[in-house]
């Protein structure tokens, strides 16, 4: 079932490397929002300035910050308001849907090293207590 849910996400994220950041929403048949997806793209102004300003999103009371994106290998993830009873899972896929990394954590700061992965676009899902946010990660 999860495999069938991931494929539409992957197809939606295939796009232009140079463009605007977008937020996409998914809804169930009753009209309830089931997912918010942030599509991050490369910004030439950020690249020229050497900025490492984090991209952020909210899931319930948790703020998620991810930086740098694009990355050369080390990807930092900060999640606020993490408690011992939160179940946090971070999963990274390539554009073919192949699992690259999966980490379960209970900490506020996570570092994922993808320097051994080839340059390209990856999809990262962060699940906190059954709520999911999806990110497009660019490795250069």
DSSP assignment string, 50-62 = T--PPEEEEETTE
Task: Summarize pLDDT for 3-56 with one digit per residue, the tens.
Answer: 566 556 555 555 444 445 677 777 888 888 777 776 655 554 444 444 567 888
Task: Summarize pLDDT for 54-105 with one digit per residue, the tens.
Answer: 888 888 888 999 999 999 999 999 999 898 888 999 999 999 999 999 999 9
Domain ranges (residues) in the chain? 2-139
Nearest of 136, 134, 140, 137 to residue 26 by alpha carbon: 134
pTM of the model: 0.64
The architecture of the domain spanning 2-139 is Sandwich (2.60)
Task: Summarize pLDDT for 25-38 with one digit per residue, the tens.
Answer: 778 888 887 777 76
Evaluate whether 10 touches 95 at the Cβ level (below 8 Å): yes
- How big is the CA angle at 10 (ends 7 and 16), to the nearest 5 degrees? 155
Alpha carbon distances (Å) from 65 to 4, 10, 15, 57, 114: 27, 21, 22, 7, 17
């Amino acid at each position: 079932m999860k495999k069938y849910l991931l494929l539409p996400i992957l197809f939606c994220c295939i796009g232009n490397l140079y463009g605007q950041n977008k937020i996409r929403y998914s809804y169930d048949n009753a009209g309830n929002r089931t997912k918010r997806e942030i599509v991050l793209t490369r910004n030439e102004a950020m690249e020229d300035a050497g900025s490492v300003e984090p991209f952020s999103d909210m899931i319930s009371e948790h703020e998620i910050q991810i930086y740098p994106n694009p990355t050369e290998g080390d990807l930092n993830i900060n999640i606020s308001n993490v408690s011992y009873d939160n179940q946090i899972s971070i999963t990274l896929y390539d554009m073919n849907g192949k699992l690259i990394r999966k980490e379960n954590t209970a900490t506020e700061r996570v570092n994922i090293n993808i320097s051994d992965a080839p340059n390209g676009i990856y999809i990262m899902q962060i699940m906190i207590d059954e709520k999911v946010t999806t990110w497009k990660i660019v490795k250069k």
